Chains A and B, each alone.
Chain A
Amino acid sequence: MLALFYIFIGVAIGVSFWQITRIMDFRGSIANDKDNDAQGKYAIGFMAFLYAMMIYCLIFMNVIMLPESASIEGEHDDNLFNITFWLIGIVQFGMQFLIFYFTFKYRGNKNNKAKFYADSHKLEFIWTVTPSIVLVGLVSYGLWQWNNVMDLSDLEDPIVIEVYSQQFNWKARYAGADNTLGFGNVNFIKGKNTMGVDMSDVNAADDKQVTELYLPKGRKIHFKFRSQDVLHSAYMPHFRAQMNCVPGMVTQFGFTPKFTTNEMRNQSEVIEKSIGINKIRRAKGEDPYIFNYLLLCNKICGASHYNMQFKITVVEQDEYDEWIAEQPTLAEYIK
């Protein structure tokens, strides 16, 4: 059967080759007025296709996109993104119109003469200065927000958490009662001490190693990232947060959760997205999807890169206090 299929393909290629050579015998090579006319019109047709697709995606793909930022710091990210997106959207629609409309409008004809127009300092000035001004605005807002997010120098009472990556899973360590993480290095990895914590460090004993992240709503979280083997990237899209985990150094990032997991599940964008997902899952006979915050690996790290996830649960402060009290300290855990 397969052989027949290949023979069929071979014959099809042969026939199309023969047809192509025939086409080429009869047609010319340089565009004439008839071609210019046809291609100019196709340009308009293509523009219609492009616009339809762009608009379709912009409208109907809203539902699949990430819901509003679940961190306080991310609000400005969303804001800046919306401003930028509107701006480039307008420019995109305008420019594509000019490109394809001009292609149509000025399609060649032997009775036409092109205008000899080589330079205009005024125009050049306009389109150097206009983008510059717009960019100054975008850059200023962007840099302000960047410093806002990345500056972790004096945080008031943050929760310090170490996120630890290895092929192909995540672990985390809370800083414990003293809110200071004990020193960690791969040389200390031994037995149950899988994160390589130096147990002789006075700050280490009260640290708490966990397999799932619980974060209290409204508290600044100060993440410190480590990796024990290759580069990973801790990507928490719902919080607009991401930082690489680099072997041999500690990187950091911080944000303040704004909605608990439950609040997020009841948020209209999330509900709408979940309905869409569950329709697909039901058709395949899979369990329904319930929203959870996730931390994903976003730096190529090996064969199972595509399956490195870590659940994050955001809860109210009292619930968090209960949960963290239940976790054993490292001293108890390792013994």
Chain B
Amino acid sequence: MSEHHHKETFVTKYLFSQDHKMISKQFLITGMFMGIIAVLMSMLFRLQLAWPETSFSLVEAFLGSHQTDGIMDPDIYLALVTIHGTIMIFFVLTAGLSGTFSNLLIPLQIGARDMASGFLNMISYWLFFMSSVVMIISLFVEAGPAASGWTIYPPLSALPQAIPGSGTGMTLWLVSMAIFVVSSLIGALNYIVTVLNLRTKGMKMTRLPLTIWAFFVTAIIGVVSFPVLLSAALLLIFDRSFGTSFYLSDIFISGEVLHYQGGSPVLFEHLFWFLGHPEVYIVLLPALGITSEIISTNARKPIFGYRAMIGSILAIAFLSTVVWGHHMFITGMNPFLGSVFTFTTLLIAIPSAVKTFNYITTLWKGNLQLNPAMLFSIGLVSTFVTGGLTGLVLGDSALDINIHDTYFVVAHFHLVMGVSAIFGMYAGIYHWFPKMYGRLMNKTLGYWHFWITIICAYGVFWPMHFIGLAGLPRRYYTNTNFPMFDDLADINVVITIFALVGGAAQLIFLANFFISMYRGEKATQNPWRSNTLEWTTPVAHVHGNWPGRLPEVHRWAYDYSKRLDANDDDSDFLHGEDFVLQTTPMLEGEIPS
């Protein structure tokens, strides 16, 4: 493959490329673009929540006919939170995160020339691109985009009479998501096949870096659960357009009884959350995989409990498919089912705890190189703990009764999957930027970016728990109609200020990213002195990744600071360095780790 280069035109190199490295960059840039839209939306609705009666020219400029005198309309508020959630979860943290790093790292870290099918990989990206375009178009339809929450529960999402966003906006949302599901299925199948079949000589499954394990298991979860979302969406399209009654029954709206009989919204909730919950792990596991790799590299220590980490990933993956009902404790589902889901949900805390303890033990007695990527990984561990612990409250059905759908939930999931996953993504970008663009990102800006972001993330989401405990429901356009919530107004202002500053801090990242692309310090082959295979490839991209033969693997990925005598901390480093490439053969008499 690498021997005879095809002549590349601009189109085959930058647009319809089948090279996994280029496709990963395409995913990243598209994901970042979508991310900017979603962040801007959150700024707008945070303004509304903090100063509900104040007029903003920003609102006037962005929302056009959906505002009056610079104050947004209630249904566009709901549309903003809906699209913010949809874009963040699917377009940024699923496609942007998995798409970028699975594509970049799977072939590079397992020692493959490319993905199993470069063509399908290209199709996967372009389907994602199409679905992004459709989603963006849906923002401009006259009645406004989908506005029934990212969970699109029918009947609200099925009936344009119920909310204007459920007209054309919802149709486009469903079309976009259907394309998206196809894209991610194609991608996931490709990842699975590649990991199983294209590992280079010596790369046993038990020698794979944890990143690859995470991407691999994520792809399996995706293949298991995404089709269910597709079918849920198809049935909803039938209900909306062809008069079927899968989810609808006994509805009286706008002065007339509709013909729907016998369906149930609870069915939709089951189907939706059968994807919706695993989706959390589809978002989170790649971030945890990236963190494992970065923490180990920068601590100059092997990841603690490699096998336990793999075990936890597998346990989380399995459990993630049997806990969806914890989103539905109070939907009218049989209370016995609620008991079962409480039990399985709290079980998931065990592998999560194991992972966290393992990260902390990896930090212990390390020689921490505090690069921006490392800081974001440590930040991930911190927010993962904070957000994960409140899961013990929400996963307990008896407690969930009273805080379900309040701001407590918003705080919980933003910390545990939103902020954590985005930190994982940032960590990955800072760490593998040299592999993508052949240059390094600037560390000073990276530090500013990290500290402002983590302070603001906590400043936004920690106080939010307490608003939830005060009983404030989420998705309220304003809470001024309830005097009992008047004392939450100040807290909302503080949260919004943190959110605005945090949002603005992302400009530092964008500037760093795009300037470094052209002016960053030129990267050496192995800038972080890492063990894994991607750092044995030349800095400048070549088709087929390795110019000559594929590398051969002789050891696991985590022989950092390994001593000649493994039990004697004072003995010299193996090969005189605190890292040993996976391609380095075992010394005579060396005990494999």
Contacts and interface: CB of A to CB of B under 8 A. Distances in A.
A248 B301 contact: no
A15 interface: no
B163 A117 contact: no
A312 to B, nearest CB: 12
Nearest to B338: A146
Nearest to B466: A61
Interface size class of A (residues with CB under 8 A): 35 or more
B313 to A, nearest CB: 15
Contacts of B566: 116
A248 B263 CA distance: 8
A186 B561 CA distance: 72
Interface in A94-147: 95-96, 98-100, 102-103, 106-109, 112-120, 123-124, 127-128, 131-132, 135, 138-139, 142-143, 145-147
Contacts of B87: none
Interface string A66-82: 10000000101100110
Nearest to A187: B257
A65 B466 contact: yes
A119 B343 contact: no
B248 A248 contact: yes
Interface stretch (A199-207, A209-217, A226-234, A315-323): A226-234
B480 to A, nearest CB: 9
Interface in B61-98: 73-75, 78
Contact of B442 (A29, A96, A98, A147): A29
Contact of A237 (B299, B343, B471, B512): B471
A230 B366 contact: no
Contact of A106 (B332, B353, B366): B366
A185 B250 contact: yes
Most B C-beta atoms less than 10 A away, residue of A43, A54, A300: A300
Interface in B201-258: 248-253, 257
Interface stretch (B26-34, B100-108, B382-390, B418-426): B382-390
A246 B398 contact: no
A251 interface: yes
B448 to A, nearest CB: 10
Contacts of A268: none
Interface residues of B, number: 137
A302 B483 contact: no
Contact of A77 (B342, B401, B405, B441): B401
A306 B330 contact: no
A158 interface: no
Contacts of A196: 252
B339 A53 contact: no
A179 interface: no
A64 B488 contact: yes
Given A88-B389, A92-B385, A289 B483 contact: yes
A265 to B, nearest CB: 12
B365 interface: yes
Contacts, number: 401
B361 interface: yes
A150 B257 contact: no
- Is chain A's binding surface mostly helix, strand, loop or mixed? helix
A281 B483 CA distance: 8
A192 interface: no
Most A C-beta atoms less than 10 A away, residue of B156, B307, B406: B156
A49 B443 contact: no
Given A30-B527, A31-B443, 6 more contacts: A17-B511, A64-B470, A115-B364, A120-B305, A142-B398, A233-B330
25 contacts: A24-B519, A29-B442, A31-B374, A36-B368, A64-B470, A85-B393, A96-B385, A100-B382, A106-B299, A108-B300, A114-B300, A116-B301, A123-B305, A187-B250, A187-B257, A196-B252, A241-B402, A242-B330, A242-B404, A247-B248, A247-B265, A248-B262, A249-B266, A296-B471, A302-B75
List the 9 closest A-B pairs by CB distance, nearest first. A248-B249, A29-B440, A237-B471, A150-B335, A251-B332, A39-B370, A186-B252, A145-B398, A88-B389
Interface of B: 57, 73-75, 78, 148-149, 153, 155-156, 159, 162-163, 248-253, 257, 262-266, 299-308, 330-332, 335, 338-339, 342-343, 346-347, 349-350, 353-354, 356-357, 360-361, 363-371, 374-375, 378, 381-382, 385-386, 389-390, 392-393, 396-399, 401-402, 404-406, 440-445, 447, 451, 454-455, 458-459, 462-463, 465-467, 469-471, 473, 475-479, 481-484, 486-489, 491, 508, 511-512, 515-516, 519-521, 527-528, 558, 560-563, 566, 569, 573, 578, 593
